[in-house]
């Protein structure tokens, strides 16, 4: 059984093993079923009651570990967390856990964004606020008090969900942007920018939310584009110099026409004067845009052609009289600029400088208006309503006014054409209402002045994925504009500027103490209601300086969080400066124009450094139909439902194994989370359960208290042990490399492959060793213990490695497994798996030769399984021969080295290897892939198909090696073919296939002995299924009795001939004699048409009863009567032979109700045709019988 070297190796370990047998407590039995969500809740309780997270921070701080700095982007607590938050939270938690378990101290503070539109908009809706006058009426103090009252509305829900997802983050030591000390650091940052000359006040056309009465930043505009239908009109502008001729201009914002002050054309493009035949009118427009008004050239006649520059200076009749007086100072004339395009409109652009950025630039440059006239040329208030100047539409919202303006223009004869357009239009990200562009006064940061530094600092950062950095973000930086940081709002950090009435004297305050010194006031809070009344005496004799009314854009606050959360520079100076920039941040792709951007702008302006070193960008999580998740449409499952149904570990793995971690979109599907449970967590759990079963079996059968000692994992005594250890360390190396590169999305596929190798290969091929079924010698027992050591080592290692990814299942397994660990294996506190370090890659544990050999073995076995399936040859029925054909002698040697596993797993008599393919008369054949080649070759497909079918084995082999072949003038790729191996009929019984370039043949002939052995294996299968149905565990000792219906059937011979074979497999006596022990379960089965009855008898381990009882509501009472619940659909139970007292119908009813949760219901109990009556006092005759339960 063992080689000489193996015997020596095992013997040397025997003494060491004996020394370990009394060093641990016994592990707990594991149920064969599991609810991952319920187990996670138990782990959460363990973490909370033992303050595991807090202790982990205390340990790393006490050990003076190097710091790993992480910044948490602050969410608003006025809304509930969604999948986007859970995604980002999972990514952050995985990376920070991994850093902690790699020897770093990782401070993780939760942050809250408390100011700004999200809060104010809720209060506006609550109080019916429509504009500044409403706020003035109730008072800023009362308005802000309302805002403060809802800031943390959903804080409890946030904390609950964040904890439930398994994220470790400090809520007690959080930061809130409303804290005065946080706001003070924001003031400091602003004062530094002011001192550097990067701050200025000016007018700009900005995106403006009329619902929130405030401008938005350019990056906020990109957060919410909506597909809408808007009016599209073409209007005429009669020329003063040429009566009867009009310029025609196109616009999708009719509401801006009352503010028209000029027209603009392209200087070098061709324009034409035409006669509109149907309207009998003369128009001027760009020649290339005649299609905007006409479908056919016959509809018009070209009268004249000229360049756009010829129109410059031409004046025209205003559309409305409201600003007609400005004609005397240069308005209502034609201007030119190259921003006019030939791909939309008429090539004549109407200019409303108060509502268009280019309009403002061009009109100001050409003297249409002067600086200081902005309030006059903008007749729209902060609520988006027309001022009295526009008398015909006074007090109408601009969007509401569109239809009235169109009607007015039609009545006045100025409308040429009216239609609609479907396009993408920016909406306010908070109020979900359409934005307008509006000229406003405000305070700006000169971002354009530091553009080159921004690009340089961005180059110093590492992004995952990189294309977001190099394309989306870099393009945004290259086109950056000055940042409007002032908001005409109330609930926010006030801009700390005190200005004289003439605007000439400005004092920038950088701290609370400075404001106290300048005003003499006692200051505890710096919100508007607390400081707006404070004045600063002028040093220039200009009276008292008053604070400007604006507050900061809340993005300025969140962009300041690296230093504001530390109250820098007023506190924690060395702590901040020694740990800046952050080692890691992560948020969604929408933050490329949000938080990522503001962090970089402020960090560059203040410190000339990037704010972060490493950054993960996540994509958007959409509903399964590809649409945005909508509470109204209910097109996605509630996150709490998913967590309660599948658990956090499954959700975390699903999210990080999706395109969303590569900044792509994810269509969220519940089935995807379920697949993670099925493909990863459940097999992983089953391997752990199998391990625990065998540790308990060692104690029960061999009186061995298993103690894990990692020194026993370096065996070299078993190739599969060496392989799984090598494969484990290859995985460690891979995970360490990928996590070092922040590529979380590559880990789960490798984990799935590892779990498959562990369960389907290592455990499956070593089941007999692990179960101690190779009985006899002491060496066999030692080998069993060493194999359990190997499985224990691998599971412990993988649990430690994956604990940052799946913190719950790894903790659950570890808490049981650690009872069998020799404490000398670890240093320090071992109370939680999250206190342990990530396992280090050990190159000495890697054996590439063994990994290659096992990979070849796997390919051969998988190919053999394919051939069995194709030829309907169940694995239970043995076959004569498997043949591996390859020209590489090393491959053949590798296959031979693991022959015992191949023949056992494929149930064949022998393995043959050969380098002579001709000996077996096997050839490669090919057919074209119709889907690929049919579309590409079209009419040539038929002759090429015939040529492909005629290719010889040699030609196809050559094509396979080169990758392609020229066939009838077309280069055909090998992967565009459907290929197969065929064995000529003269060879007889072989079937052939190729897998991973290894040719495998299987002899499909069977004889009578093989058929009979197959039937014996079928019988073994039926016994094992019955054991499982009875919820028996491997350590339960039973006796199996069989009774054949027809004593003349073929199965009688098989059962007799293979009796010893069956008994060895089922580890039980197997006989046709009447059993004398207690009946556990009985069932009629069938094998190849032969029917017989199987009965399992014997005394059952109490642990099995406990396992069944755990499934019952309230648990099974001591000395219960119902031993097995084996059919939960028809509600059938079996009466236990171990009753503690005589069984009555009343007692039976009580247990049945507890088992099936039928409290408060009447139940009917029936055995066959016999309905049990309440008066029945002794049901001992029903022991071992089946009772059917019916609820009424």
Which residues belong to the active site? 74, 113, 555, 591, 595, 628, 631
Helix (H) or strand (E) holding 1133: strand 1132-1135
Main-chain phi, psi angles of 5, to 5 degrees = -65, -40
- What number of other Cβ atoms are within 10 A of residue 1161's Cβ? 10
Query: Two tokens at 95?
Result: 């990376």
How far is residue 118 from each of residues 261, 555, 978, 996, measured CA to CA in Å?
A: 36, 12, 58, 57
Cis ω before 465 (30° cut-off from 0)? yes
1059 CB-near residues (< 8 Å, 6+ apart): 1070, 1071
Distance CA 1106, CA 739 (A): 42
**1097 strand-pairing partners:** 1039, 1079
Distance CA 155, CA 166 (A): 17
The phi-psi region of residue 988 (left if phi > 0; otherwise alpha if psi is between -120 and 50; otherwise beta) is left
Distance CA 374, CA 452 (A): 32
Distance CA 89, CA 855 (A): 37
Q: What is the DSSP letter of 618?
A: E
**356 strand-pairing partners:** none
Distance CA 1026, CA 304 (A): 97
Q: Vertex 1185, ends 1179 and 1190: CA angle to 5°? A: 85
3 state SS of 328: helix
The β-bridge relationship of strands 199-209 and 436-445 is antiparallel
Main-chain phi, psi angles of 750, to 5 degrees = -70, -35
Produce one character per residue of 968-1003: b if its CB has 16 or more CB atoms within 10 Å, e if not. Answer: eeeebebebbeeebebeeeeeebbbbbbeebbbbbb
Main-chain phi, psi angles of 363, to 5 degrees = -70, -40
Distance CA 580, CA 609 (A): 9
SS3 of 759-780: the string is HHHHHHHCHHHHCCCCCCCHHH
Distance CA 861, CA 904 (A): 10
Longest dimension (CA), the chain: 123
Distance CA 34, CA 1143 (A): 31
The β-bridge relationship of strands 998-1003 and 990-995 is antiparallel
Residue with tokens 């790393």: 60
């Amino acid at each position: 059984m063992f080689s000489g070297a193996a015997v020596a190796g095992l013997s040397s370990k025997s003494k060491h093993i004996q020394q370990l047998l009394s060093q641990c407590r016994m592990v707990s039995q594991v149920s064969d079923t599991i609810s991952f969500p319920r187990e996670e809740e138990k782990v959460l309780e363990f973490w909370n009651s033992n303050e595991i997270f807090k202790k982990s921070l205390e340990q790393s701080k006490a050990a003076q570990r190097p710091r790993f700095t992480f910044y948490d982007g602050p969410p608003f607590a006025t809304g509930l967390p969604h999948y986007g938050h859970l995604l980002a939270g999972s990514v952050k938690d995985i990376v920070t856990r991994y850093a902690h378990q790699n020897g770093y101290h990782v401070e993780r503070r939760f942050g809250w964004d408390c100011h700004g539109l999200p809060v104010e908009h809720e209060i506006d809706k609550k109080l019916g606020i429509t504009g500044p006058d409403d706020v003035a009426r109730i008072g800023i103090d009362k308005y802000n008090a309302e805002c403060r009252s809802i800031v943390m509305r959903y804080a409890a829900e946030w904390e609950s969900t964040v904890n439930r997802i398994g994220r470790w983050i400090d809520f007690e030591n959080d930061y809130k942007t409303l804290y005065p000390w946080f706001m003070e650091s924001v003031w400091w940052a602003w004062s530094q920018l002011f001192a550097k000359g990067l701050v200025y006040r000016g007018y700009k056309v900005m995106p403006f939310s009329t619902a929130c009465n405030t401008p938005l930043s350019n990056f906020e505009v990109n957060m919410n584009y909506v597909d809408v239908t808007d009016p599209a009109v073409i209007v005429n502008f009669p020329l003063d110099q040429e009566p009867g001729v009009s310029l025609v201009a196109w616009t999708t914002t009719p509401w801006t026409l009352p503010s028209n002050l000029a027209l603009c054309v392209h200087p070098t493009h061709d324009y034409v004067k035409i006669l509109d035949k149907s309207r009998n009118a003369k128009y001027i427009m760009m020649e290339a845009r005649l299609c905007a008004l006409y479908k056919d050239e016959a509809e018009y006649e070209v009268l004249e052609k000229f360049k756009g520059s010829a129109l410059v200076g031409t004046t025209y009749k205003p559309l409305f009289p409201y600003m007609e007086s400005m004609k005397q100072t240069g308005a209502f004339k034609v201007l030119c600029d190259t921003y006019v395009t030939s791909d939309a409109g008429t090539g004549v652009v109407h200019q409303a400088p108060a509502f268009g950025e280019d309009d403002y630039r061009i009109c100001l440059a050409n003297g249409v208006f002067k600086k200081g006239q902005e309030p006059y040329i903008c007749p729209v208030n902060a609520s988006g309503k027309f001022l009295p100047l526009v008398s015909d539409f006074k007090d109408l919202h601009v969007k509401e006014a569109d239809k009235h303006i169109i009607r007015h223009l039609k009545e006045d004869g100025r409308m040429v054409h009216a239609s609609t357009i479907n396009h993408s239009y920016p909406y306010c990200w908070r109020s979900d209402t359409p934005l307008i562009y509006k000229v406003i006064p405000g305070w700006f940061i000169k971002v354009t002045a530091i553009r080159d530094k921004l690009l340089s600092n961005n180059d110093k950062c590492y992004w995952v994925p990189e294309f977001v950095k190099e394309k989306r973000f870099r393009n945004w930086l290259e086109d950056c504009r000055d940042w409007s940081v002032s908001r005409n709002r109330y609930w926010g950090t006030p801009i700390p500027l005190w200005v004289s009435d003439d605007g000439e004297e400005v004092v920038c305050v950088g701290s609370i103490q400075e404001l106290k010194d300048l005003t003499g006031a006692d200051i505890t809070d710096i919100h508007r209601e607390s400081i707006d009344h404070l004045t600063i005496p002028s040093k220039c004799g200009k009276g008292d300086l008053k604070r400007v009314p604006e507050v900061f854009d809340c993005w300025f606050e969140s962009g300041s969080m690296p230093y504001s959360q530390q109250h820098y520079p007023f506190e924690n100076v060395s702590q901040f400066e020694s740990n800046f920039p952050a080692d890691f941040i992560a948020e969604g792709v929408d933050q490329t124009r949000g938080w990522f951007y503001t962090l970089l702008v402020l960090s560059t302006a203040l410190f000339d450094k990037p704010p972060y070193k490493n950054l993960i960008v996540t994509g958007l999580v959409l509903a399964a139909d590809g649409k945005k998740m909508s509470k109204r449409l209910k097109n996605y499952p509630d996150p709490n439902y998913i967590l309660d149904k599948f658990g956090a570990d499954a959700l975390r793995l699903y999210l990080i194994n999706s395109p969303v971690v590569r900044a792509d979109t994810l269509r969220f599907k519940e089935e995807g989370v379920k697949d993670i449970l099925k493909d990863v967590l459940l097999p992983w759990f089953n391997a752990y359960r199998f391990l625990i079963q065998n540790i308990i079996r060692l104690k029960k059968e061999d009186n061995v208290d298993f103690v894990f000692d990692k020194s026993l994992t370096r065996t070299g005594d078993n190739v599969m042990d060496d392989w799984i250890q090598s494969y484990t360390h290859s995985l460690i190396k891979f995970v360490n490399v990928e996590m070092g590169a922040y590529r979380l999305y590559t880990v789960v596929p490798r984990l799935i492959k590892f779990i498959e190798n562990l369960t389907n290969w290592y455990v499956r091929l070593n089941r007999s060793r692990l179960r101690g079924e190779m009985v006899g010698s002491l060496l066999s027992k030692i080998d069993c213990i060493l194999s359990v050591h190997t499985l224990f080592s691998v599971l412990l290692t993988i649990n430690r490695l994956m604990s940052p990814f799946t913190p719950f299942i790894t903790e659950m397994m570890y808490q049981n497994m650690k009872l069998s660990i020799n404490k000398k294996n670890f240093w320090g506190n071992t109370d939680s798996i999250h206190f342990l370090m990530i396992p280090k890659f050990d190159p000495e544990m890697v054996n590439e030769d063994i990994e290659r050999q096992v990979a070849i073995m796997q390919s051969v076995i998988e190919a053999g399984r394919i051939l069995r399936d194709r030829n309907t040859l169940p694995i239970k029925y043995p076959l004569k021969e498997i043949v591996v054909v390859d020209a590489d002698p090393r491959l053949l040697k590798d296959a031979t080295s693991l022959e015992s596993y191949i023949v056992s797993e494929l149930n064949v008599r022998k393995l043959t290897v050969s380098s002579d393919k001709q000996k077996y008369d096997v050839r490669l054949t090919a057919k074209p892939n119709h889907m690929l080649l049919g579309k590409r070759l079209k009419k040539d497909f038929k002759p090429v198909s015939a040529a492909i079918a005629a290719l010889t084995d040699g030609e196809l082999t050559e094509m396979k090696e080169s990758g392609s072949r020229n066939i009838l003038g077309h280069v055909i790729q090998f992967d565009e073919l459907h290929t197969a191996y065929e064995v000529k009929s003269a060879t007889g019984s072989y079937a052939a296939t190729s897998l991973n370039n290894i040719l495998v043949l299987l002899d499909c002939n069977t004889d009578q002995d093989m058929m009979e052995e197959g039937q014996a294996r079928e019988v073994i299968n039926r016994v094992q299924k019955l054991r499982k149905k009875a919820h028996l565990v491997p350590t339960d000792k039973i006796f199996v009795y069989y009774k054949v219906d027809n004593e003349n059937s073929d199965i009688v011979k098989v059962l007799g001939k293979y009796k010893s074979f069956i008994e060895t497999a089922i580890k039980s006596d197997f006989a046709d004699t009447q059993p004398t022990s207690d009946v556990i379960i009985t069932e009629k089965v069938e094998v190849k048409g032969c029917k017989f009855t199987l009965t399992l008898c014997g005394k059952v381990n109490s642990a099995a009863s406990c396992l069944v009882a755990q499934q019952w509501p309230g648990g099974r009472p001591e000395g219960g009567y119902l031993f097995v619940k084996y059919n939960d659909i028809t509600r059938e139970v079996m009466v236990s032979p171990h009753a503690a007292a005589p069984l009555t119908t009343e007692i039976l009813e009580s247990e049945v109700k507890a088992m099936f949760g039928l409290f408060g219901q009447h139940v009917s109990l029936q055995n066959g045709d016999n309905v049990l009556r309440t008066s029945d006092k002794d049901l001992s005759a029903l022991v071992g019988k089946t009772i059917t339960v019916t609820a009424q």
